[in-house]
Amino acid sequence: MEETKKFYVTTPIYYVTAQPHLGSLYSTLLADTITRWNKLQGNKTFFLTGTDEHGQKIAQAAQKAGKEPKEFIDSFIPDYKKAWKLYGIEYDCFGRTTSDSHIKGAQQLVQKIIDNGYVYRSEYSGMYCTPCETFVVDGAQLCSSCGRETAMMSEETYFFKLSSFADQLLDFYKKNPDFITPKERFNEVISFVKSELHDLSLSRTTVKWGVPFPGDIKHTIYVWVEALCIYITGVGYGDPHKAEQFNQWWPADVQVIGKDIIRFHAVYWPAMLMAAEMPLPKKLLVHGWIKVDKQKMSKSLGNVVDPLVLQKKYGAEPIRYYLLRQIPVNQDGDFSIADVEARIESDLAIDLGNLLNRMVALAHKYDLLTVKPIEIWSESSLELRDQSFTMIEDFSSHMDDYMFHLALARLWKFIHTTNAYFHGQEPWKLAKSNPTMFLEVISATCHSLRVIALLLWPVMPKKMEELLASIGLAFVLEEHTLENLQLNIWNKSFLLHKIPTLFDKPVQANKEESTVQQPVKIIKEEAYITIDDVVKVELLIGTIDACEEVVGSDKLVKMTVNLGERGLRIILAGIKKSHTPDELVGKRGVFIANLKPRKMAGHESHGMMLVAEDEDGKVQLMQAPAGVANGVRLR
């Protein structure tokens, strides 16, 4: 048994010039899920998020709003806290860079770097915009914020000897090949350090809204340098009474960041820590951008998605699931309402919600409220149990790699397996014919749902607590660590309660209350097929002239199908659990006639029959209309 580990997770701290949007929610959600995943493993966790409140950008925004910077910032803090609360984000520290403890800690770190001899005073030259009182990037002739002409200017500044850390950084990267996830991002960082590492300006005389530079109050600390310090000041750095707490948590185990701020976190921040002789974070998890119609969300484009509107319309936890399932963490992802609704409907309402509802409703119908432990399991249930064990392993390994979309895809495969088991056993028949087996099927389904709910807890905590409650289990973290789950021997008893639907199917998106300021495309173009695709499929009416079971397969039947002028065909179908061969002979249906022949269980199938599953999980044939002859093509 592994001993309890500490795990410290951070998000970037957000600029408070506006309310949080879907991008800030995304970074924060990743960190919350990672924290909860660690809790599930029995680790002691600390989760820091917060706000970045100094610098010219904030001062200018406040001035525009006619407010003092602090008053301006304070007005946004409740929005952040409210959004995080609605989304179930449970942080341990909401760090604010205007807090006294942060200011002291940031000054202490800079002082330490000065004391260690890595700071010198010099001139910073560049193109300067006087009205904005700021140097513009890349020596531009026009100011990027006001558009006015810039002029060459020099400013006194304190420099950090960043260039002298190139070798040490490269050595650190070499020894810590897992420092950055995903790996592709690592190469960008390495080539940057190899090619152009200049000393870093640590202070500004022109920016008044900032933390005073230690020993020279004409200067403020460069806002990025000061902001990075939140990761240490948030756990006690700079406070002599909190030294123990600081040593307990630092270094961070994972720092979640967006790809736009990688250089600050992978180069400047480690170099600053090296200069202060402090341990370096263990990992940076770098995520992509959430885009709307292939563009990064931004206020000027008017495509910013408001998390509060989404929460109101779909509920917070379905959105948590959507973001983690739909958008691979290592790539940019396109936000789409159509995808949100499809995920909620198909994955949550149908695959998971219906499974729970049907099982509980069926058990209630036959007065099975207390599900006692099963002593001897039958083969099919043992197979389901073994599949749950393999799934737990695969799921955990994807979660440990921070590949949430893969973990969830794997978990959903197991939900499909559980659905197939439940419906395949036809418990609605067993309830009357074989009560012992009925009990077993209900119990096995409950055991599977328990595994599913616990693994999904980091993603949808409240919903999964509701799910567990409906099978009579309380969610108690200490008792349900991942390890317990892996040792799980399927000996639980359950108490079944009917609960309101776990996930509602979304009602069609209402254009008037769009979640983004621009009209949202309901279906992505690439999801359409054209008429050319449709006409490729030859759908014919046919009659099953003969039918037999396929020996050795528990699903397949082999049918001889009369397709009129197109002759007789051998077609296999996985419908044995719902129909006997005798029932099928003489039935008429719809068949795909031009499907490439395929071998199944040793027999070649020359087509496919169209079927659909009913509410009880029974497979029903598509009815051929009366008066339409065999071989007639559907159009």
Q: Is 282 helix (H, G, I), strand (E, B) or coil?
A: coil
Question: Interface residues for ligand MSP in 169-188 (CB under 6 A)?
Answer: none
The CB-of-21 to ligand MSP minimum distance in angstroms stands at: 7
The strand pairing partners of 547, in sequence order, are 559
Q: What is the rounded CA–CA span in Å between residue 512 and residue 204?
A: 47
The CB-of-96 to ligand MSP minimum distance in angstroms stands at: 12
Q: Which stretch binds ligand MSP (CB under 6 A): 10-18, 58-66, 493-501, 591-599?
A: 10-18
The CB-of-11 to ligand MSP minimum distance in angstroms stands at: 7
CB atoms within 10 A of CB 613: 12
297 sits near ligand MSP (criterion: CB under 6 A): yes
Q: Which stretch binds ligand MSP (CB under 6 A): 12-20, 117-125, 145-153, 175-183?
A: 12-20
Cα radius of gyration rounded to whole Å, the chain: 30
Phi, psi of 298 (to 5 degrees): -155, 155
State which residue, 291 or 618, has the beta carbon closest to ligand MSP. 291
The CB-of-281 to ligand MSP minimum distance in angstroms stands at: 12
State which residue, 26 or 158, has the beta carbon closest to ligand MSP. 26
Q: Which stretch binds ligand MSP (CB under 6 A): 35-43, 290-298, 380-388, 396-404?
A: 290-298
State which residue, 259 or 385, has the beta carbon closest to ligand MSP. 259
State which residue, 99 or 164, has the beta carbon closest to ligand MSP. 99
State which residue, 24 or 311, has the beta carbon closest to ligand MSP. 24
State which residue, 27 or 470, has the beta carbon closest to ligand MSP. 27
The strand pairing partners of 135, in sequence order, are 128
Q: What is the rounded CA–CA span in Å between residue 110 and residue 112?
A: 5
15 sits near ligand MSP (criterion: CB under 6 A): yes
475 sits near ligand MSP (criterion: CB under 6 A): no
Single-letter code of the amino acid located at 67: K
Contacts of 575 (CB under 8 A, 6+ apart): 555, 557, 584, 609, 611, 619, 621
252 sits near ligand MSP (criterion: CB under 6 A): no
The CB-of-495 to ligand MSP minimum distance in angstroms stands at: 42
261 sits near ligand MSP (criterion: CB under 6 A): yes
Q: What is the rounded CA–CA span in Å between residue 165 and residue 266?
A: 13
Q: Which stretch binds ligand MSP (CB under 6 A): 21-29, 385-393, 437-445, 473-481?
A: 21-29
State which residue, 81 or 296, has the beta carbon closest to ligand MSP. 296
Contacts of 225 (CB under 8 A, 6+ apart): 106, 110, 160, 200, 202, 268, 272
Site string for ligand MSP, 49-88 (x = CB under 6 A): ---x------------------------------------
94 sits near ligand MSP (criterion: CB under 6 A): no
228 sits near ligand MSP (criterion: CB under 6 A): yes
341 sits near ligand MSP (criterion: CB under 6 A): no
CA atoms in the 13 A half-sphere facing the CB of 513? 11
Q: Which stretch binds ligand MSP (CB under 6 A): 135-143, 207-215, 258-266, 427-435?
A: 258-266
The CB-of-27 to ligand MSP minimum distance in angstroms stands at: 5
289 sits near ligand MSP (criterion: CB under 6 A): yes
Q: Return the closest-CA partner of residue 275 out of 402, 131, 162, 130.
A: 162
Q: Which stretch binds ligand MSP (CB under 6 A): 288-296, 439-447, 451-459, 524-532?
A: 288-296
227 sits near ligand MSP (criterion: CB under 6 A): yes
State which residue, 52 or 440, has the beta carbon closest to ligand MSP. 52
Task: Please give the span between the terminal C-alpha atoms of the chain, in angstroms, as a whole number.
Answer: 62
DSSP string, 53-88: --SHHHHHHHHHTTS-HHHHHHTTHHHHHHHHHHTT
Contacts of 586 (CB under 8 A, 6+ apart): 543, 544
Query: Residue count at the site for ligand MSP (CB under 6 A)?
Result: 20
Single-letter code of the amino acid located at 77: I
Q: Which stretch binds ligand MSP (CB under 6 A): 7-15, 161-169, 391-399, 610-618?
A: 7-15
Q: What is the rounded CA–CA span in Å between residue 540 and residue 606?
A: 13
- The answer to whether residues 96 and 51 touch, using CB atoms and an 8 Å cutoff, is yes
Q: Which stretch binds ligand MSP (CB under 6 A): 289-297, 382-390, 394-402, 506-514?
A: 289-297
State which residue, 161 or 259, has the beta carbon closest to ligand MSP. 259
Q: Is 88 exposed, middle or buried (0-12, 13-18, 19+ CB in 10 A)?
A: middle
Q: Which stretch binds ligand MSP (CB under 6 A): 6-14, 126-134, 187-195, 364-372?
A: 6-14
Options 180, 272, 290, 319; binder of ligand MSP; rule CB under 6 A: 290
Q: What is the rounded CA–CA span in Å between residue 97 and residue 628?
A: 75
Residue 88's region, left for phi above 0, alpha for psi from -120 to 50, else beta, is left
Instruction: Please write down the HEC assignment for all residues of 209-235.
Output: CCCEECCEEEEEECHHHHHHCHHHHCC
Q: What is the rounded CA–CA span in Å between residue 581 and residue 586?
A: 10
The CB-of-119 to ligand MSP minimum distance in angstroms stands at: 20
Q: How far is CA 295 from the centre of its chain?
A: 20
Q: What is the rounded CA–CA span in Å between residue 63 and residue 426?
A: 69
8 sits near ligand MSP (criterion: CB under 6 A): no
Query: How do strand 290-292 and strand 333-334 relate by DSSP bridges?
Result: parallel
Site string for ligand MSP, 361-380 (x = CB under 6 A): --------------------
412 sits near ligand MSP (criterion: CB under 6 A): no
Q: Which stretch binds ligand MSP (CB under 6 A): 20-28, 392-400, 418-426, 443-451?
A: 20-28
296 sits near ligand MSP (criterion: CB under 6 A): yes
Q: What is the rounded CA–CA span in Å between residue 301 and residue 308?
A: 19
Residue 289's region, left for phi above 0, alpha for psi from -120 to 50, else beta, is beta
Q: Is 161 helix (H, G, I), strand (E, B) or coil?
A: coil
List residues near ligand MSP by CB under 6 A.
12-15, 23-24, 26-27, 52, 227-228, 230, 257-258, 260-261, 289-290, 296-297
